[in-house]
Structure formats: structure tokens, C-alpha cells
Amino acid sequence: MRKSKWTSLFSLMLVFVLVLAACSGDESGEDGADEKDSDEKVKIVYARGKDATKATDKIIEAFEKKYPNIDVEFRDMPSDSGAQHDAYVTALNGKSSEIDVMDLDVVWPAEFAQAGYVMALDRFIQKDNINLDDYNQGALSAANFNAKQWALPKFIDAGMLFYRTDIVEEGNVPQTWDELITKADELQGEKGTKFGYLMQAKQYEGLVTNAVEFIASYGGEIVNENGEVVVDSEEAIQGIKKMVEVANADFVPENITTFTEPESHTSFIEGESPFIRNWPYQYALANDEDQSEIVGNVGVAPLPKGDAGSAAALGGWMTAINAYTEHPREAWEFLKFMTGPEGQKISAIHGGLAPTLPSLFEDEEVLEANPFFKEEGFVNALNNAVSRPVVPNYPEISEIIQIEISKAITGKVTAEEAAKNMQKKIDAAMQ
Ligand code: GLC
């Protein structure tokens, strides 16, 4: 049957109208977000490791006040970075949309981007004119992979030495690992302390950061800037030896090989040790009247030096959006708030976290809460912090380091053997 000219024209118009409708529908859901009435609430789930400070609650409170139509439910994840990593990987492998926004440890973004677990943020960044130059470029680049930005950095971490100002006299803070060993031994038992020094020596990610610090303080490296594995060196071996010596000293808890951050920070704020190696949040926590018995008695210094100087491991967390979220737009609003100046200021004041927006280091309230942010030792530690290997199969490399360093601490291998084994296994894993 032959169609009349008018019928054809009508069909064409109908197609046109349908296409338009489809396009406009697509546009309103531009970010794949579901259409909602403006006053209908959307709930998003935000996951991160257990927060020992009040910062996360305060951020959510401030965000919900500003965005009354978005409810943020906080999902506590294991504070052990490796356990948290595995929980996300299991959920995201199963394409779960349950979590919308999550924090990533600085060593994960390449892996998560490659696996398709997180959303590239570039279109959001452009749409909202976020100026990436405002960020610490090192922290920012940790989440840049294949020329895309997969997360925005929320805080930087660097390992530091915290000490009790009521036990350690001013000017008497240990400068070298050997001085630390002498002082920790001497001061153990002062003012009711049970130990001399606390660190993180369980077989987990934190052990890697403690090892990186010892190794770098003697001039060693695990993987160099050209991506070559160089851990089987005299310098690295010296660092491992010093770590083994400290972890086996009488002044650390006998069960130090079960200590992650929470075990060590709890012992410190309960007044059990004059010294602890930890991340900057330790300061805010130690001054939290609701939790700490040592409020006002905490000092911060660079970690002790080895033969090559003091070295801090670079840590930190970034915020990303689950690639399978059903609420990308709301997820982005929350991510933007938390990693932006308002959220980072709350993190710095209530969580003692070092901002990735350098301008906040000049903010008076931030400095009042964290006087050490302006100290040279802290700024140097942050600026020179040592990265862990930046590779998509980082978990595999980390596991090798964890196993070998644990064996060295428990005397199953010598420092030399640990270095040799790491060299061989990491080399193979990097092929
Ligand atoms: C801190 C650091 C993180 C590191 C972890 C190890 O959370 O920010 O980068 O991997 O400690 O326990």
C-alpha cells in the first residue's frame, strides 16, 4: 500500500517528536541519575574505615544541612586498609550498587579504575568548574590514571612521631632510631606508662608503611622511580634490621605483631606509652576530651633518622563514586563537598587530617586545632613523604612485603633473606 504524502510527513514528525522526547529524557538524567521530585529525598551510602574522630559525623551533618534533599548514611568499614579493600572488591565485583561513595586508600585508584569499579569524575569536575590546580598535585596525581581523574584527594597522611610532653622533656625528643631505642627504654614506666614505643607491626598494609619508613631512613628503596625493584640493597637491609630490633624490643607491647592503628592509638591515648609512630589524626584524637587521658600533653616530631635521615611514608585517602551507583548526581555532590574546602576544613579541625588543599594550611581555625601544621618538620615530612609502589597490581606487591617483613620480625628469616625474597618475588610480580 502506497502511503500518502501527508501520512509520510506525519510519520516523520512523529519520529521526530519521539526522538526529541527521548533526548530530553536523557538530558534530565544526564548523569544517569533517576528523576526525582525536587523535594523527594535521596539516600546515598558513604563508606569509609571506622573513624576514631568525630570528623565524619560532622561532615555529614554539615552536608545534610546544606543539601536537605540528600540523606547520607555512613557505612563503617574495617579500619584495616587491606580488609577494607577486599570488602569493596567483593561488592564491586558483584556490581553491587549498595555503596554510592567510598574512600580509597592512596594505593588503590589505579587498580579500581582499571577494574571499572569507580566512575571517572572528569565530566563532573568540568560541569562544576572545580579547579584542580587548587589541590596538592602529588595527592591529585595518585588518582589520575589513563589521563582521567578517578577520585579526589581528601587528606594526605605522613608517618610522624608523637610523644608525651609531660614525660619527654623539651629538646629531648629522639632524633635517631638509636636515640629512640635508648629513650623508649629509659622512659617506659614513667607516669604509669606500660610501654616505651608503639607502632603498627601486624601483617597488613600499615606494616608496609612502617617498613617503607625504616628502609628509606637508611637510604633504601623498594621500587625506584624508574620502576626497578631495588630492595635487595645494603641500605634496605639496614632499615629492615632496625625495624626488627625496634619491634622486638622489651619496650614495645609483647603482642605488637597484632597492632594496627586502632590498637596503637588506643594504647597511646590511654596513657600507656611516651612515644608512638602514627598518622596526623593521632593529634586530634589525643586531644579529644571524650576519649583521651592525655589531652594537652602531646607533641609531634618527624620520625627518627636512620643513616640517611628521617623518612615518612606517604598515605592518605581519596573519595570516589561507585561505577554502579544509582545516584551519581547526589554521590558527586557529597564527594564534592567532602573533598572541597568546607569538608576538608571540618576534617582538619575535628579529625586532625592534613588537607590536600594547600590554602587550608593558612586557615586560622585549622592551625589553631593543629598547631603542628605550621611546623617545619611537619611540612617537610609531608613534602618529602615516600610513596609505596604505584602499580595496578599493588595488593600483590604489598602482600609480598607484608609476608617477608613479618617473617623478619618474627625471626623466621634474616633481614638479608627478607630483602632477597622481596627482590625476587616483586620482580616476578611486576613482569
Ligand atoms: C593510613 C594511610 C593509608 C595507609 C594506611 C595503612 O590510613 O592513610 O594510606 O595505607 O594507614 O594502615
Q: Name the residue with the closest Cα to ligand 1, atom 6.
A: 206
Rounded to an integer, the average pLDDT of 349-375 is 96
Q: Is 404 in the pocket of ligand 1 (CB under 6 A)?
A: no
Least confidently predicted of 14-23, 140-149, 189-198, 382-391:
14-23
Average pLDDT over residues 364-375: 95
CB burial readout 62-96, b (16+ within 10 A) else e: bbeeebeebebeeeebebbbbebbebbbebbeeee
- The response to whether residue 100 sits with its C-beta less than 6 Å from ligand 1 reads no
Q: Which of 209, 281, 347 to mutate to test the pocket of ligand 1 (most atoms within 8 A of CB)?
A: 209
Whole-number Å distance, alpha carbon 243 to ligand 1 midpoint, is: 18
- The residue-averaged pLDDT of 41-47 equals 97
State in Å: Cα 105 to ligand 1 middle.
Answer: 7
| Cβ 205 under 6 angstroms from ligand 1 | yes
User: In 3D, which of 351, 266, 361 has the Cα closest to residue 317?
Assistant: 351
| Structure confidence at residue 225 (pLDDT) | 87
32 confidence band (pLDDT: 50, 70, 90): very low
Question: Per DSSP, what are the bridge partners of residue 319?
Answer: 103, 152
Ligand 1, atom 11: closest residue by C-alpha: 206
Q: What are 27's three cell numbers?
A: 538530558
Closest of 429, 285, 348, 340 to residue 156, by C-alpha: 348
**CA 216 / ligand 1 centre spacing (Å):** 17
Q: How high is the mean pLDDT of the chain?
A: 92
The C-alpha atoms of residue 376 and residue 9 are separated, in whole angstroms, by 76
Residue 11 has pLDDT above 80, yes or no: no
CA atoms within 13 A on the CB side of 132: 20
| Residue 88 pLDDT greater than 80, yes or no | yes
Is 156 in contact with 139 (CB distance < 8 Å)?
yes
Tell me if 49 CB under 6 Å of ligand 1: no
Residue with grid cell 588503590, as numbered in its chain: 108
Calculate how far, in angstroms, residue 317's C-alpha sits from the geometric centre of ligand 1.
8
Question: What pLDDT digit, counting tens, does each position of 156-177 carry?
Answer: 999 999 999 999 988 899 999 9
Structure confidence at residue 392 as a pLDDT band (50, 70, 90): confident
Q: Distance, CA 26 to ligand 1 centroid (Å)?
A: 40
Per-residue pLDDT tens for 246-301?
999 999 999 999 999 999 999 999 999 999 999 999 999 999 999 999 999 999 99
Q: What is the position in ligand 1's atom list of the atom closest to the CA of 315?
A: 9
Cell digits of residue 323:
561505577
CA distance 192 to 285: 20
Dihedral in degrees, nearest 10, Cα atoms 94, 95, 100, 104? 70
> What is the distance in A from the centroid of ligand 1 to the CA of 54?
18
For the Cβ of 315 lying below 6 angstroms from any atom of ligand 1, the answer is yes
DSSP bridge pairs for 197: 275
What's the grid cell of residue 85?
Answer: 579493600
| Binding site membership of 84 for ligand 1 (Cβ less than 6 Å) | no
With the most atoms of ligand 1 within 8 angstroms of its CB, the residue from 208, 279, 347 to mutate is 279
Helix or strand run (H / E) with residue 48 = strand 42-49
Task: For residue 217, report the distance from its CA to the centre of ligand 1, in Å.
Answer: 19
Band of pLDDT at residue 24, cut at 50, 70 and 90: very low
Ligand 1 pocket mutation pick from 105, 111, 394 by most atoms within 8 angstroms of CB: 105
Residue bearing the CA closest to ligand 1, atom 12: 206
Taking the centre of ligand 1 as the mean of its atom positions, its distance from the CA of residue 31, in whole angstroms, is: 32
Amino acid at 412: K
Residue nearest to atom 3 of ligand 1 (CA): 315
List b or e across 211-220, with b for residues whose CB sees 16 or more CB atoms inside 10 angstroms: bbbbbbbbbb
Instruction: For ligand 1, say whether the CB of 159 is within 6 Å of any of its atoms.
Output: no
Mind listing the domains of the chain with CATH numbers? Answer: 42-157+315-372 (3.40.190.10), 158-314+380-430 (3.40.190.10)
With a 6 Å cutoff on the Cβ, whether 206 touches ligand 1 is yes
Residue pair 58/347 in contact (Cβ under 8 Å)? The answer is no
Whether 89 shows a pLDDT value over 90: the answer reads yes
Q: Hey, which of 136, 204, 205 would you mutate to test ligand 1's pocket, going by the most ligand atoms within 8 Å of its Cβ?
A: 205
From atom 2 of ligand 1, which residue's Cα is the shortest distance away? 315
Q: Give residue 372's pLDDT.
A: 93
Q: Over 70: is that where the pLDDT of 338 sits?
A: yes
Closest ligand 1 atom to 314 CA? 9
Question: What's the gap in Å between 315 CA and the centre of ligand 1?
Answer: 5
